[in-house]
Amino acid sequence: MTMPSTELPDHADVLVSMLLDPPFASDPYPVASRLRDIAPVHRTNRGFWLVSDAVSVEQLYRSPTMRIGFGSARREQAPQLANSPSRQLFERMLPFMDPPDHTRIRQVLAPYFTPRVMSGLRRYAEDLVDRLLDRLEADGGGDLVYDFANDIPVAVVCHLLGGVGEEDQVQCREWAEGLVEGVHPECTDDMQRKADAAAVAFGAYAERIVADKDGSGDDLVSCLVRERKAGNLDAPELVGTVTTLIGAAFHNTRNHIASGIYELLRHPDQLALLQGEPDLAPRAAEELLRYDPPVQMTIPRIATTDIVMGGVGIGSGELVAGLISGANRDPARYHDPDRLDIRRDDGGSISFASGIHSCLGIVMARMEAQIAIGRFVRRFPSARLIDETPETEPSAQPLTRGYKQIRIAL
């Protein structure tokens, strides 16, 4: 049973510990809401601020004085990581960059992630989803995570990139899982070892893909090789960009698809509504993203000047992270925020971020989720959960949220 937020502790750091320390809260949303209600802008006892109301999280996204500063922040938190392979790779990856390099590389990539380009991928994604649904049907069910959602995001982005064979995609997914370990706000030695090993292997693989291209093709890697020859990317940035596109495409979209179908099966009124009105698929996917976001917390950012958030002063040089799980359930932003409502039309989620660091692949991720969720619920109107309360994947937490498996019967 979910504990109402009013019955939770009223000490902010205790709530932070419930969210950030194992064993993690099985249902983080009442905990995040309680923290938002009593301390929406809170300096934790871990050396960084945590903001959890929608206005402050959006300010964190959009303020030009808040920088990612991932490398310098990691060096400050753990100087021994200064030369770690994962940190060096992260600093060449778009999500961890600041202007002007971030602006330059994003401008290089933006033309390849437009709705027009994504429409060309749609048929491939639909065929892929249908094949996976055929497999589920033949087996009479299976695991939504590893028999379905897991096989969609990397396959789609690798089709766009070119040069990544199906036999390599399993390994790419494993490397992506390893890299995530190094992004968590508090990274243990074991997590760092996993991230470093993944960074070395993934980076070497990306270098091989790039080396096989002369820039004459029309796939995305060939286009990026041409950008390198034109001087718009250097060699490390090219490798980091290829790694970003494969790795970032996977983890969050997989969890969004699997968790989204799970929540619909838990809410039969919303499932019936979507089955009766298939055109609601885009709005349903957005509402499911708000209701159970795969990214629970932002990467901490550095204040480059003194700043006021939620009426609280934060000094220059301080680290600030945003609690998306709290902001997405903020009653000041959403009506009846704890209710799943696929007809909801009050601004959508803020799970893809906003401002200069809004998700570059947002059009692709939305397309994949709409196709996968929409086609599943139309194909299997009688699907039922075997796992009513599946176990969350602890290695994903606290930064992200997903399930180890979600078993269904058809």
Residues 65-79 pLDDT 10s:
898 866 655 555 556
Report whether 40 contacts 51 (CB < 8 A).
yes
**What's the CA gap between 178 and 78, in Å, rounded?**
19
Instruction: Give the residue from 247, 275, 248 showing the smallest Cα distance to 261.
Output: 275
pTM of the shown model: 0.91
Low-confidence ranges of the chain (pLDDT < 50): 1
Confidence (pLDDT) at 238 = 87
Q: Which residue type does 182 have?
A: G
Question: Distance between CA atoms of 267 and 62, rounded to whole angstroms?
Answer: 34
Which helix (H) or strand (E) is 41 found in, with range? strand 41-43
**Contact at 8 Å (CB) between 381 and 275?**
yes
* pLDDT number for residue 189: 82
Question: What pLDDT sits at residue 134?
Answer: 98
pLDDT at 1: 42
C-alpha–C-alpha distance, residues 248 and 98, integer Å: 17
Q: Give the pLDDT confidence score for residue 159 in this predicted structure.
A: 87
Coil vs helix vs strand at 311: coil
* pLDDT value of residue 395: 76
